[in-house]
Amino acid sequence: MSDDQQLQPTEATSTTEVTLRRAPKYPVFLVLGALAGALGTLVLTASFPVDPAVGFAALYGYFVLFGIPIGVVLGALVAIILDRVSVHRAKRMAAELTTVDPLPYEDEDELKD
């Protein structure tokens, strides 16, 4: 073989069809739902008169045990609905994959040049 043929890397190209869509990030929706549940619980707890024997903080702490899980569930439902919508808006596109094999070296002296 000549030197020009040895110095050419080998290349392989393949084309495939892929689906491209924007999916929601579930952890973000869960955390925002939890925060909304805690804030909603704060608003509802402050809206009603507080029992002086219990206190506001204890009452809020008790009700936030219900508010946060409800907010997480609502955030998850919103994420699932947005995920279903993104599946319908998905686009099919062609993707090209190019694989390049490195140059073959027969001995270590070629690497130093």
Q: Would you say how long the chain is, in residues?
A: 113
Taking only the tens place, the pLDDT of each residue in 12-71 is: 888 888 888 888 999 999 999 999 999 999 999 999 999 899 999 999 999 999 999 999
DSSP label at residue 113: -
In sequence order, which residues have a C-beta less than 8 Å from that of residue 53 and are 6 or more positions away?
none
Alpha carbon 76 to chain centroid distance? 13
Structure tokens at 57: 């903080």
Alpha carbon 56 to chain centroid distance? 38
Nearest-5° angle of CA 87, CA 90, CA 96? 135
Looking at per-residue confidence, does 3 or 42 come out higher?
A: 42
DSSP strand pairing (11-20 vs 91-100): antiparallel
